[in-house]
Amino acid sequence: MYSESGYEFSTLDGSIFDFDDGSSIASSMSSAVRSNSSMMSNLGNYKFEHDRRYHSYREGNWVVPNDQQEQDRMDIFHQMALLRMGDKLHLAPLDNPRRILDIGTGTGIWAIEMAFKYPNARVIGTDLSPIQVSPPANCSFEVEDADSEWVYPTNNFDMIHTRQLLGGISDWRRFFEQAYAHARPGGWLELQETPPDPHTDGPTPPADLPFLRILSMFTEASANTNRPFADQVSQFTSHMKAVGFVDVTSETRRLPLGTWSTDPMEKEIGRYNVLNFVEGLEAYTLALFTRVLGMTAEQVRSLVDEAKKDICNRKRRWYFDLVIVRGRKPYTDEVVST
Ligand SMILES: C[S@@+](CC[C@H](N)C(=O)[O-])C[C@H]1O[C@@H](n2cnc3c(N)ncnc32)[C@H](O)[C@@H]1O
């Protein structure tokens, strides 16, 4: 256990995470986070590496584990995103949607909540890993690789959604072309992403801080794969317009890291984000740094531990961006201005 700057934490299993304002993350965790469990029983199909579990379908394409620890982190991220989105699952204006596709659905938490919100809709969540819990009757999950040819009918979906899919797609332009083809005329595509670029609301931090080092190594290592995490989101709107989407917008909302903000909502978001990073730093770097940078697992874990200390230093006033990009496929008789 590590303690500095008033923070104290252990991993999720320990469930101890006290902040310097006297609150605890336990009060912030939803029951969904605690109750989520894997429906997959044939664990033998998964790949294990340095004590973390990875997907086996299209093995190696997604460098982040699919084990319980990562599933908990995904659900923590979901709660944080909901807070930042004003309790909205999406910003696209949907009117009685019938068919919704969630690509890279993870635990399926967004898809399941959409199925409850829109009982007349059929919601499909796809992922490389079959880790989702049992869904309600109008929701189903399928193992699919969004980097391959999409198997669904064209002109079909009222909404196509992704969140945190950076690092999972080798050719974003092709992704947008396929999303356009499979959306129905008038249907929406919405993406919510958090580029791995740290910002600070305080003085410029020294570049050799372990947290900054690990983030720049992450960018460098993933750029050496064909599914980079960095430098993708800024091109989303131009890709979308180029393939034919209209009403394309990009909106950025900040996700503070830690409880340094005076705004109560941002403070709450900051609590979730600390957990997101404490749980996620190893998940996002272990395979990448050992496979691509040739580091040992011990070296990566030691760097991760150092970086966690920087996260927890509230003087740094870190924040990241949540970027929400959306656009609509025009109606067949719509006159589109170019
Ligand atoms: C960071 S998680 C986000 C999960 C979910 N969208 C959420 O926000 O709660 C990314 C998910 O995308 C999946 N994924 C990555 N690349 C993919 C691909 N090419 N096709 C389908 N799923 C993919 C991963 O397996 C993982 O479950």
* Residue 4 to residue 271: CA distance in whole angstroms: 15
Q: Which of 148, 112, 150 is nearest to 132 (CA)?
A: 112
The pLDDT of residue 6 is 27
For tokens 């002109």, name the residue: 155
What lies within 8 Å, CB to CB, of 279 at 6+ separation is 11, 12, 69, 70, 72, 73, 76
**Could you say which DSSP state residue 205 is in?**
P
What pTM did the predictor assign? 0.89
Give the sign of the dihedral formed by CA 209, CA 211, CA 213, CA 215. negative
Smallest CA separation from ligand 1 atom 15, residue: 168
* Residue 7 to residue 256: CA distance in whole angstroms: 16
Pocket test for ligand 1, best of 40, 54, 57, 62 (most atoms within 8 A of CB): 62
Quickly count: other Cβ atoms within 10 Å of residue 43's Cβ: 10
Give the ligand 1 atom nearest the CA of 131. Answer: 27
Pocket test for ligand 1, best of 66, 72, 84, 127 (most atoms within 8 A of CB): 127
- Residue 120 contacts residue 98 (beta carbons within 8 Å): yes
Give the ligand 1 atom nearest the CA of 102. Answer: 6
13 C-alpha vs ligand 1 centroid, how far in Å? 23
Give the ligand 1 atom nearest the CA of 61. Answer: 16
Max CA pair span of the chain: 62
314 versus 53: the higher-pLDDT residue is: 53
Q: In the chain, at which residue ranges do the beta strands (DSSP E only) sit?
A: 2-4, 7-9, 17-18, 47-49, 52-54, 99-103, 122-127, 139-143, 157-163, 183-193, 199-200, 246-256, 318-328
* Residue 231 to residue 280: CA distance in whole angstroms: 20
The pLDDT of residue 337 is 79
The pLDDT of residue 305 is 96
Tell me: the pLDDT tens digits for 162-205? 999 999 999 999 999 999 999 999 999 999 999 999 999 988 99
Q: Which residue type, as a one-letter code, is found at position 10?
A: S
Q: Which residue type, as a one-letter code, is found at position 151?
A: V
Range 157-161 average pLDDT? 98
* Residue 111 to residue 102: CA distance in whole angstroms: 6
Percent of the chain clearing pLDDT 70 (strictly above): 87
Give the ligand 1 atom nearest the CA of 74. Answer: 9
Instruction: Tell me yes or no: is domain 47-329 CATH 3.40.50.150.
Output: yes
120 C-alpha vs ligand 1 centroid, how far in Å? 25
* Residue 281 to residue 31: CA distance in whole angstroms: 23
Give the sign of the dihedral formed by CA 230, CA 234, CA 237, CA 241. negative
163 C-alpha vs ligand 1 centroid, how far in Å? 8
Whether the pLDDT of residue 258 is over 70: the answer is yes
Smallest CA separation from ligand 1 atom 26, residue: 106
22 C-alpha vs ligand 1 centroid, how far in Å? 34
What lies within 8 Å, CB to CB, of 328 at 6+ separation is 92, 186, 187, 188, 189, 245, 246, 247
The structure tokens listed for 255 are 């996700």
Pocket test for ligand 1, best of 40, 150, 165 (most atoms within 8 A of CB): 165
Angle subtended by helix axes 172-182 and 236-243, to nearest 10:
50
Tell me: the pLDDT tens digits for 42-93? 434 899 999 999 998 998 899 999 999 999 999 999 999 999 999 999 999 9
Which protein residues are within 6 Å of ligand 1, measured from CB? 55, 62, 74, 77-78, 103-106, 109-110, 126-129, 144-147, 163-165, 168-169
147 C-alpha vs ligand 1 centroid, how far in Å? 11
The pLDDT of residue 16 is 33
Cβ burial 285-317 (10 Å sphere, 16+ → b, else e): bbbbbbebeebebeebbebbeebbbbbbbbebb
Strand partners, 49: 52
Quickly count: other Cβ atoms within 10 Å of residue 188's Cβ: 25
55 C-alpha vs ligand 1 centroid, how far in Å? 11
